[in-house]
Amino acid sequence: MRARVQVFATCLGENFFSDVLKDMVTVLERLGVQCEFPEGQTCCGQPFYNSGFQSQTLALARNWLRAFANTTGYIVAPSGSCTDFVRHRYLELFPPGAPEHPQVEEIASRAVEFTEFLTRVLKVTEMGAHFPHKVTYHAACHSLRNLGLRDEPKLLLQAVEGLELVPLAEEETCCGFGGVFSVIYPEVSRAMMDAKVKNIQASGAEYIVTNEPGCLMNISGVLQRIGSPIKPMHLIQILASSKDSSRPSP
Amino acid sequence: MPDKAHPRIGFRARSRSVPPNIPAAVQRATSLLLAKRSAAVAQVPEWEGWRQAAHDARLEGISHLDEYIKIVQARVQSAGGNFHLARDSAQACALVVEIARAGGVRTVVKSKSMATEEIGLNHALEEAGIASFETDVGEFIIQMAGVGPSHILGPTLHMTKEDIAELFTRKLGIDAPPDPRALTDIARSALRERFLSAEMGISGANFVVAETGTVVLVTNEGNGRLCTTLPDIHIAVAGIDKIIPDWNSLAALLRVLPRNATGQKLSTYTSFITGPRRSEGEEGAREFHLILLDNGRSRIRSDPAASETLLCIRCAACLNICPVYNHVGGHAYGGAYSGPIGAILSPQLLGTNIAGDLPFASSLCGACTDVCPVKIPIPSILLHLRHRIAEGQVAERPSVPFRVRLMASLASIGLSSPWLYHTGAFLIRLGQRPFQHGDRLTALPPPLNRWTNVRPFPAFRGGFQKWWHTRRSARSQTFSKSQNLESSLPARETASQPANLSLAAMDRLIQEVNLVAGHAQHITLQEIDAALATLVAVGGIKKAALWQTDYITRLALADRLRKLGVNIIPATADKRALAEADLGITEVDFALPESGTLGLLSSPDRSRSISVLPRAHLAVVRPQALRPDLQQVFQEAKNEGYLVFITGPSRTSDIESVPTLGAHGPEALYVWAMD
């Protein structure tokens, strides 16, 4: 039986991190997985839900369900936050009794985050990646706490040839993104972010890696503002790096 | 202060004006508390099971609150106490004032209580012409400073010892050095006279046990014991949510509360008070009142998506771990409760029109829920409250401005249509050029400048779909490996190991007492004189008071002390005379080896204050006092009017988190294990 997955691009992925999505497909295909991209997907609705606009979320969630209806196999996203949202919060948006509920149970339960898919479904950590650099890892909140991915992303990094994984102090503390929070309370977000970046700088790493586009957007913004030479990368981009590929600086 | 008068809490303005030295002070204290918690939790392999049991015990109480309130009322009254149910802050304050006036009270001593902070009781007493003194070292300091608590456990967590020394010097007119020991001693001596002269003591309650109508107080300094033992009248003020069904629930909660709050197996003092004193010769209040406070809690209960807010046992671990709290401190939350629990509790108590900023003061990172000992789904409740604020509810109008709601509607229409979504993204890619510097947008117009003022925004760039389509049509798809993708996600398993109980119980007790800064040892009858002589010499003991139980009498400790030149104060003497004792000697009715805890009952022979007023306390433990666990002690003692657990000497960490012994109770705890 041929493995088949649906690419859940996420709106941040599609609009800001198209390279990450390309790498995700590349890595999956390298592992023998056939990727499909359901047309018509937009945003899962999380930004609305988290801002309190639950009824505005419904239209987006229905569109997401429509896009992934009639597909088979796992729905793989480069984001633990979006995965968590469709897998867990859709059940609250469409509780038992709602017409969409059976669909949510069938479709949204197939959603998995990329590192979760590799380590828990495919059960692989080694995929021939090569990245001869000093790297540190930031644990994204929703992957860590809502999907329970504490060691899995690091196992994948440790299996990369040439990669030296150095510890990050307060690895599990939020970077201060928090979606709408960072716009409503930018000063607090900034304080959290500055603490995160201080720890990243102290780690001695050349690269800061995480598996969450939101964190990446936040952390890369600060690093750029302060002119830091430390380069932010999505974990998928590291896994896609091979000996032959010369990786362009992100 | 009545709810209506509460001004709107502007979190952004408050969080922007946090003095720069506060986050550092807060983080030093919270990281210490978290480290202690982690160490304590790591010793409990079955921790997740304990959390679940604690959650279940609380949920049972909250789910059947109306019935339990009636049971509490009946039990308190049958124990000879007075029961009151207060609808709101104003009514609760009025009740206290009324009771105080009826009792001719001029001075009140208070132990730390979040409920009385919530209702603004000190202010109400002051207005009624009654002097009210906070006696917790931290509360004493903030009352003097004229501010509210910045943390549920450590009200002064935001202050340095220099701040406190400066405050004492200014307000008390003395030369106070910036030293935690000296500052604690200043507080101790300033408050000792207050304890002795106050006619009324006011406490909160950590739990109210419905089964027997018992008020449970978990404290460290000993001020709570003094407030509830020395004055003639004791009022306990507690939210209705503090009710738990029975003593089994209490055992389940007491094992998680101190561990999760401060990393202690049990806090120094846990008092179990049922009604007023039972006999004339006994110590304790002769008049007892329990005021249960609703103040919006019934409303919280009636909202199924938020009712678990009421499970909170005020351990403050969510504050300690919260990155937002750690950067803004407690005062930014504008109410008695701060941090994640404050962000969900205050809007529900005060109304979303007053505290509607708070549920948005979170990045939804979820760290709070992970450390919650009763498993409150804080992020879910934050989201629910955001929903109430943005879109309103039956009884509540949305408090988010109309233009924001309009923007959300338009955006949701745009994003739920794939065509509009792609067209919009295309137009943005064209329109962003004026703001673009390389791959970043550096300055966006308001309100998006709130992001770009802090860090640049990445430029919109599509490309994935184009890549996808070009590539798919260009290549023939071949796959070499096949994988079985139908396997489900494996469940995570946790192993639990039986606790190692290899140490003999008495040895274990000694070991644990010593771990909590007590001095415990085995003593034989022949060794008593020598041990007493050492104790008297080391502690500079001139006066002592003793329990009158048979065993203490048989040991002839009074005579032995007299031979060492120590004056004996009769146990029947009044509190002022007892307060002069340097040493109090008691027997122990129950001993819990696992936590190094001593359980003491009260009777005319067993003075309550002898174990808390003097600088030194000697407790004599016989093997027959040993009990395996809390449940066993509770089974035997739940119908007693009074029980106190003592785990180590009195302590405070209110000044820069430096543990300081002898806050209000004994500085030294000696435990003799009699063989």
| Distance to chain B for A162, nearest Cα, Å | 26
Q: Contact, B128 vs B101, CB < 8 A?
A: yes
**CA B479, B485, B486, B492: dihedral to nearest 10 degrees?**
170
Considering just the CA atoms, what is the radius of gyration of chain B in Å?
Answer: 29
| Residue of chain A nearest B471, judged by CA positions | A22
CB-nearest to B387 from A3, A54, A59 is A54
Q: Which residues make beta-bridge pairs with B200?
A: B108, B233
Q: Where are the domains of chain A?
A: 3-122, 134-239
| Distance to chain A for B306, nearest Cα, Å | 14
| Residue of chain B nearest A225, judged by CA positions | B455
pLDDT per residue over B629-675, tens digit each?
999 999 999 999 999 999 999 999 999 999 999 999 999 999 999 97
Q: Does B484 touch chain A (CB under 8 A)?
A: yes
Average pLDDT for B124-140: 97
> B568-596 burial string, b = 16+ CB within 10 Å, else e?
bbebeeebeebbebbbbbbbbbbbbbbbb
Question: Has residue A250 got a pLDDT over 80?
Answer: no
pLDDT per residue over A13-34, tens digit each?
999 999 999 999 999 999 999 9
Q: Which residues of A touch B490 (CB under 8 A)?
A: 120
pLDDT per residue over B423-433, tens digit each?
888 888 888 88
Q: Contact, B180 vs B161, CB < 8 A?
A: yes
Three-state DSSP state, B561: helix
| Residue of chain A nearest B413, judged by CA positions | A59
Chain A contacts in chain B segment 316-345 (CB below 8 A): 323-324, 327-328
The first and second tokens of residue B610, run together, are 């002898």
Q: Which residues of B touch A63 (CB under 8 A)?
A: 416-418
The first and second tokens of residue B417, run together, are 């249509």
- Please give the pLDDT value at position A108: 85
Which residues of chain B are in CATH 1.10.1060 domains?
1-43+303-390
CB atoms within 10 A of CB B174: 10
| Distance to chain B for A131, nearest Cα, Å | 24
| Residue of chain B nearest A217, judged by CA positions | B458
Q: Which residues of B touch A41 (CB under 8 A)?
A: 418
| Distance to chain A for B428, nearest Cα, Å | 10
CB-nearest to A185 from B361, B369, B385 is B361
- Please give the pLDDT value at position B503: 52
Rounded to 5 degrees, what are φ and ψ at B424?
-60, -45
Q: Residue A249's pLDDT band (boundaries 50, 70, 90)? A: very low
**CA B221, B224, B228, B232: dihedral to nearest 10 degrees?**
80
Q: Contact, B509 vs B520, CB < 8 A?
A: yes
Rounded to 5 degrees, what are φ and ψ at A64?
-65, -45
Instruction: Give the span between the Cα atoms of B251 and B89, in whole angstroms.
Output: 31
| Distance to chain A for B32, nearest Cα, Å | 14
Rounded to 5 degrees, what are φ and ψ at A244?
-80, -30
- Please give the pLDDT value at position B401: 82
The dihedral region occupied by A174, where left means phi > 0, alpha psi between -120 and 50, and beta the remainder, is: beta
The first and second tokens of residue B346, run together, are 């205050």
The first and second tokens of residue B361, run together, are 């003061």
- Please give the pLDDT value at position B446: 82
Strand A3-7 and strand A74-77: the pairing is: parallel
Residue whose pair of structure tokens reads 């969630």 in the numeric block = A61
- Please give the pLDDT value at position B475: 65
Q: Which residues of B touch A92 (CB under 8 A)?
A: 380
**Helix residue ranges, H only, B517-629:** 528-539, 550-554, 557-563, 575-578
Question: Has residue A144 got a pLDDT over 90?
Answer: yes
Question: Has residue B112 got a pLDDT over 80?
Answer: yes
pLDDT per residue over B285-307, tens digit each?
999 999 999 999 999 999 999 99
Q: Do A195 and B451 touch (CB under 8 A)?
A: no
Look at domain B505-674 and name its CATH class: alpha beta
| Distance to chain B for A228, nearest Cα, Å | 13
Question: Has residue A244 got a pLDDT over 80?
Answer: no
Q: Which residues of A touch B411 (CB under 8 A)?
A: 48, 56
Nearby residues of A202 by Cβ (< 8 Å), 6 or more positions away: A169
State which fold the B1-43+303-390 domain adopts. Fumarate Reductase Iron-sulfur Protein; Chain B, domain 2 (1.10.1060)
| Distance to chain A for B130, nearest Cα, Å | 41
The first and second tokens of residue B491, run together, are 């469940």
Instruction: Give the span between the Cα atoms of A84 and B494, in whole angstroms.
Output: 23
**SS3 string of A98-152?**
CCCHHHHHHHHHHEEEHHHHHHHHHCCCCCCCECCCEEEECCCHHHHHHCCCCCH
Q: Contact, B133 vs B109, CB < 8 A?
A: yes
pLDDT per residue over B429-479, tens digit each?
888 888 888 888 988 888 888 888 888 988 888 889 888 888 877 764 444
The more confident residue out of B5 and B405 is B405
- Please give the pLDDT value at position A2: 59
The DSSP result for B136-193, as a single string, is SHHHHHHHHHT---SSSS-TTTT--HHHHHHHHHHHH-S---S-HHHHHHHHHHHHHH
ipTM of the complex: 0.94
- Please give the pLDDT value at position B662: 94
SS3 content of chain B, % helix, strand, coil (to 5): 45, 15, 35
Nearest to A200 by CA among A178, A179, A217, A222: A222
Q: Do A31 and B483 touch (CB under 8 A)?
A: yes
Question: Has residue B272 got a pLDDT over 50?
Answer: yes
Nearest to B140 by CA among B192, B200, B96, B67: B192
Q: Which residues of B touch A54 (CB under 8 A)?
A: 387, 390-391
- Please give the pLDDT value at position B394: 63
CB-nearest to A190 from B415, B447, B454 is B454
Mean residue pLDDT of chain B comes to 92
Q: Do A56 and B409 touch (CB under 8 A)?
A: yes
- Please give the pLDDT value at position B502: 33
The C-alpha angle A59, A60, A65, rounded to 5 degrees, equals: 100
Q: Residue B3's pLDDT band (boundaries 50, 70, 90)? A: very low
Which residues of chain B are in CATH 3.40.50.10420 domains?
65-299, 505-674
Q: Residue B490's pLDDT band (boundaries 50, 70, 90)? A: very low
Q: Does B462 touch chain A (CB under 8 A)?
A: yes
The first and second tokens of residue A140, run together, are 């994204």
pLDDT per residue over B410-425, tens digit each?
888 889 889 899 888 8
Q: Residue B396's pLDDT band (boundaries 50, 70, 90)? A: confident
Task: Tell me which CATH code domain A134-239 carries.
Answer: 3.40.50
Q: Which residues of A touch B325 (CB under 8 A)?
A: none
Question: Has residue B574 got a pLDDT over 70?
Answer: yes
Question: Has residue B248 got a pLDDT over 90?
Answer: yes
Three-state DSSP state, A5: strand
Which of B440, B478, B485 has the highest number of chain A CBs within 10 A, making it the mutation to test binding with A?
B485
Average pLDDT for B518-543: 94
Task: Tell me which CATH code domain B65-299 carries.
Answer: 3.40.50.10420
Q: Which residues make beta-bridge pairs with A233?
A: A209
Considering just the CA atoms, what is the radius of gyration of chain A in Å?
Answer: 18
Q: Residue B572's pLDDT band (boundaries 50, 70, 90)? A: confident
Question: Has residue B50 got a pLDDT over 80?
Answer: yes
